[in-house]
């Protein structure tokens, strides 16, 4: 799946990518059922554990980058009064949070679904208010003409994603529940704040797949409409968050609002004036050898990090040099083969012994080093490491998109105060140290500067997660 919103790329974005439909789709519902049952058990353990944490603003993470399982990571959020829980895909590649409406025409709801979806019922939440379609109320949500008026008392929207799926519905303002941690405080304060989100009445594309276990999408992009922007602009959450997506087996991981205190994080600047987490990729090396690619191809339309995309995509001009370099390294011991347009290799030993490292070099000297399992996918999932492996890196006409395949098994920190993104390899089953300091809160920065001129040390609360995996 590729859930970066098309309007962020201009209209030609809609036509660009059908590649990922050729990749393996989730196949066996039995395994999904087993996995989600285990996930639910894990969820209960995590919830019990997290109540003991000192005010962590964190969300549980489920799902996996493995397309044979689900292909995306998701979390649970609580909306409305009384609060109801929704499973939503964590998507740094779009801005809007939406969940399915109980009046949805074609949302997945048949009895053969493995997990019954939860639908948002505007009439059942005492605090829900539909945004009317006046200019004052609706215009702030009309990014690139995505808003329209199904009725005069409803501000509607249509969002298209890069994989040509789409959703439409109406904007609603209602309570979003979260645990807030004020700077200097070590006590979690369960609170809620009104935010604007979409309630979808129509879906198309991947969004109607019956193996889609999510009730909606949590837009975590950089734009004004995203949940972190709505909450952090009011000083309710810090302007820094991080994820650690566990790659093997069951998937899952950590998604937290706070600054990571682990060693070895390297940062690259976010590029200015972009809605998403765009960075400057400068070069790619395979087996330590730099590909002969003009760096301008990466910065032309850009390179961005996207948890809403399952695989990775290289801009057209870099794709063939990359494939050729990998093939040259392994051709003695792996038989190249094409499968549905993808470059694959038949191997008889583990790919980690055979394939080279892939290194992405970014502005500021930060490198992302990928092991073979972080850019290859097994075409039929099996415990036997031999067999057919395919590059999980597709070709895109304009963009370079770094999706979950390359993001997993590392901590990624998105620091919007210093406009940078950083990462380090990390075992996502263990518990990263996180801090929350005043400088990351919009309102606190102002009051601190006016009262103590920054001379006092910042109050920092540090804690380890108590996740029980
Ligand atoms: C899916 O699971 C069913 C039931 O366990 C099994 O019979 C079938 O062979 C599986 N299919 C695949 C493609 O693994
Ligand atoms: C949103 O903007 C487009 C132009 O970009 C305009 O045609 C449309 O009427 C606007 N919708 C609303 C509800 O204001
Ligand atoms: C907890 O949140 C409530 C509102 O949700 C607020 O009134 C109260 O002051 C907060 N308490 C602390 C200790 O921050």
Segment 234-268, tens digit of pLDDT = 888 889 999 998 887 677 888 888 888 889 999 99
* Ligand 2 touching residue 131 (CB < 6 A): no
Tokens of 337: 């083969």
Low-confidence ranges of the chain (pLDDT < 70): 1, 5-60, 62-71, 110-114, 179-189, 210-212, 249, 381-383, 443-469
Q: Is 134 near ligand 2, meaning CB less than 6 Å away?
A: no
pLDDT of residue 165: 86
CA distances, 238 to each of 28, 33, 142, 198, 424 (Å)? 40, 36, 26, 23, 21
Residues in CB range of 227: below 8 A, 6 or more apart: 97, 176, 195, 197, 218, 219, 220
Q: What pLDDT is recorded for position 9?
A: 52
Range of the domain at 167: 48-259+437-461
Give the atom of ligand 1 at the shortest distance from the alpha carbon of 30: 2
pLDDT of residue 443: 62
Q: Are 169 and 249 found together in one domain?
A: yes
Could you tell me if 323 and 251 lie in one domain? no
Residue 389 CA: distances (Å) to CA of 310, 376, 384? 16, 6, 11
pLDDT reported for residue 68: 54
Asked if residue 327 has its Cβ within 6 Å of ligand 2, the reply is no
Tokens of 230: 């709505």
| 274 lies in the same domain as 207 | no
Is 157 a domain residue? yes
pLDDT computed for residue 405 by the predictor? 87
Pair 188, 84 in one domain: yes
- The whole-number pLDDT of residue 66 equals 61
Total count of residues recorded for the chain:
469
Instruction: Point out the catalytic residue in the list 39, 95, 306, 409.
Output: 306
| Domain membership flag for residue 110 | yes
| Ligand 2 atom showing the smallest separation from residue 142 Cα | 1
Q: Is residue 466 part of a domain?
A: no
Return the exposure string of 442-454: e unless at least 16 CB atoms fall within 10 Å of the residue's CB, then b: bebbeebeeeeee
In a domain? residue 469: no
Instruction: Give the integer Cα–Cα distance in Å for 440 and 279.
Output: 21
Q: Is residue 381 part of a domain?
A: yes
Cβ–Cβ < 8 Å for 206, 26: no
- For residues 225 and 207, give the distance between their C-alpha atoms in angstroms, rounded to a whole number: 21
Q: Are residues 13 and 55 in the same domain?
A: no
Does residue 210 belong to any structural domain of this protein? Answer: yes
Shared domain for 273 and 399, answered yes or no, is yes
Burial class for 27, CB neighbours closer than 10 Å (0-12, 13-18, 19+): middle
Residues 297 and 377 in one domain: yes
Residue 428 near residue 340 (C-beta atoms within 8 A): no
pLDDT for the residue numbered 254: 84
Distance CA 256, CA 424 (A): 16
The protein residue with its alpha carbon nearest to ligand 2, atom 13, reads: 148
Residues 454, 400 share a domain: no
Same domain, 384 and 442: no
User: Are 220 and 345 in a shared domain?
Assistant: no
Give the model's pLDDT for residue 323: 96
Which ranges of 343-431 would DSSP assign to H, the alpha helix?
A: 351-354, 404-407
Q: Which of 7, 148, 169, 171 to mutate to test the pocket of ligand 2 (most atoms within 8 A of CB)?
A: 148
Is 73 in contact with 251 (CB distance < 8 Å)?
A: yes
Rounded Cα gap, residues 129 and 417, in angstroms: 32
Alpha helices by DSSP H, listed for 404-461, are: 404-407, 442-452
Ligand 3, from 81, 83, 191: best to mutate by most atoms within 8 Å of Cβ?
191
Specify the CATH number for the domain of residue 350.
2.40.70.10
Helix or strand (DSSP H, E) at 345: strand 342-347
For the stretch 45-70, pLDDT in tens is 333 333 223 334 566 676 665 655 55
Ligand 2 centroid vs 114 CA: distance in angstroms? 39
Report the nearest-CA residue for atom 8 of ligand 2. 145
Question: Does 408 reside within a domain?
Answer: yes
Nearest residue (CA) to ligand 3, atom 7: 191
Domain contains 342: yes
Ligand 2 centroid – CA 28 distance (Å)? 43
Res 112: pLDDT: 58
**Residue 83 pLDDT:** 95
Total of domains in the chain: 3
Q: CA 213, CA 113: separation in Å to the nearest integer?
A: 9
Cβ pair 359, 368 in contact under 8 A: yes
Same domain for 36 and 106? no
The three-class DSSP label of residue 216 is strand
* Shared domain check, 233 and 130: yes
**Atom 13, ligand 3: residue with shortest CA distance:** 189
Q: Residue 215 gets which letter from DSSP?
A: S
- Classify strands 84-91 and 216-219 as parallel, antiparallel or unpaired: parallel
Residue 306 known to be catalytic: yes
């Amino acid at each position: 799946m590729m859930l970066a919103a098309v309007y962020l790329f201009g209209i030609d974005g809609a036509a660009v990518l059908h590649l990922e439909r050729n990749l393996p789709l989730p196949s066996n519902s039995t395994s999904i059922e087993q996995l989600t049952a285990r996930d639910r058990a894990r969820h209960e353990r995590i919830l019990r554990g997290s109540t003991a944490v000192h005010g962590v603003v964190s969300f549980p993470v489920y799902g996996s980058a493995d397309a044979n399982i689900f292909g995306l990571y998701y979390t649970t959020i609580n909306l409305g009064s009384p609060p109801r829980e929704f499973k939503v895909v964590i998507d740094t590649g779009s801005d809007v949070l939406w969940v399915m409406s109980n009046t949805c025409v074609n949302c997945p709801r048949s009895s053969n679904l493995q997990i019954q979806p939860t639908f948002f019922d505007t009439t059942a939440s005492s605090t829900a208010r539909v945004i009317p379609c006046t200019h004052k109320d609706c215009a702030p949500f009309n990014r690139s003409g995505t808003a329209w008026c199904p009725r005069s008392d409803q501000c509607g929207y249509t969002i298209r994603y890069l994989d040509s799926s789409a959703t439409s519905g109406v904007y609603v303002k209602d309570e979003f529940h979260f645990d807030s941690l004020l700077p200097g405080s070590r006590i979690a304060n369960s609170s809620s704040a009104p935010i604007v989100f979409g309630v979808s009445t129509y879906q198309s594309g991947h969004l109607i797949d019956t193996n889609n276990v999510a009730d909606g999408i949590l837009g975590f992009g950089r734009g004004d409409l995203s949940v972190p922007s709505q909450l952090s602009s009011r000083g309710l959450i810090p302007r820094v968050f991080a994820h650690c997506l566990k790659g093997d087996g069951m998937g899952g991981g950590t998604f937290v609002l706070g600054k990571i205190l682990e060693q070895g994080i390297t940062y690259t600047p976010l590029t200015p004036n972009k809605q998403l987490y765009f960075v400057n990729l400068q070069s790619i090396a395979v087996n330590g050898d730099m590909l002969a690619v003009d760096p301008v191809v990466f910065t032309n339309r850009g390179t961005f990090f996207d948890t809403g995309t399952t695989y990775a995509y290289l801009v057209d001009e870099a794709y063939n040099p990359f494939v050729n370099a990998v093939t040259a390294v392994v051709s003695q011991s792996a038989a190249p083969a094409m499968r549905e347009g993808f470059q694959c290799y038949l191997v008889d030993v583990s790919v980690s012994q055979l394939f080279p490292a892939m290194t992405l070099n970014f502005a500021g000297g930060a490198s992302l080093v990928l092991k073979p399992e972080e850019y290859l996918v097994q075409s039929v999932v099996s415990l036997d490491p031999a067999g057919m492996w395919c590059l999980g890196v597709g070709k895109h006409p304009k963009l370079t998109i770094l999706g979950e395949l390359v993001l997993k098994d590392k901590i990624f920190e998105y620091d919007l105060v210093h406009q940078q993104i950083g990462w380090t390899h990390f075992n996502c089953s263990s518990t990263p140290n996180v801090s929350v300091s005043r400088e990351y809160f919009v309102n606190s920065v102002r009051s601190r500067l006016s009262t103590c001129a920054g001379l006092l040390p910042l109050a920092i609360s540090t804690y380890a997660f108590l996740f029980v995996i």
